[in-house]
């Protein structure tokens, strides 16, 4: 299944989605599926969609939590990094890599 074919199917399935949301969903679904032809089946497409939504919500929640931690850590003054702060920064990088993995086929090295 090609991207434009999947976009047409998604637009029919969910006419409430904007073109940007459909494009984003196409990218996530196609990158997450080894055999894109399987997405022609409505049941398989729906399962892939649910899985992608779940992964996206998890990554988004993690991103928000880590972003808040990083914001609290830095404030307006200079920071002398403690081991805990370095751990927080490492987690922030890992969460960002998870977000990137949702939109690309590449596994991040972080």
pLDDT in tens, 48-102: 888 888 877 877 787 788 778 777 777 666 667 778 877 877 877 877 777 777 6
How high does pLDDT run on average in the chain? Answer: 81
Do the domain assignments include residue 52?
yes
In sequence order, what are the residues at sequence separation of 6 or more whose Cβ sits closer than 8 angstroms to the Cβ of residue 14? 22
Count of structural domains, the chain = 1
Higher pLDDT, 105 or 75: 75
Least confidently predicted of 4-8, 39-43, 87-91: 87-91
Answer yes or no: is 35 within a domain: yes
Cα atoms found within 13 Å of the Cα of residue 100, Cβ hemisphere only: 11
What is the rounded CA–CA span in Å between residue 28 and residue 49?
9
In a domain, 109, yes or no: no
pTM strictly above 0.75: no
- 8 falls within a domain: yes
């Amino acid at each position: 299944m090609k991207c434009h074919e999947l976009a047409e199917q998604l637009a029919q399935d969910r006419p409430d989605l904007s073109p940007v949301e459909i494009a984003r969903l196409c990218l996530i679904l196609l990158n997450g599926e080894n055999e894109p032809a399987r997405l022609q089946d409505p049941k398989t497409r729906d399962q892939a969609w649910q899985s992608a939504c779940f992964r996206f919500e998890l990554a988004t929640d993690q991103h928000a939590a880590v972003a808040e931690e990083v914001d609290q850590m830095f404030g307006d003054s200079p920071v002398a990094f403690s081991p805990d702060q370095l751990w927080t920064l490492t987690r922030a990088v890992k969460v960002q890599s998870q977000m990137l993995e949702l939109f690309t086929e590449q596994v991040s090295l972080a």
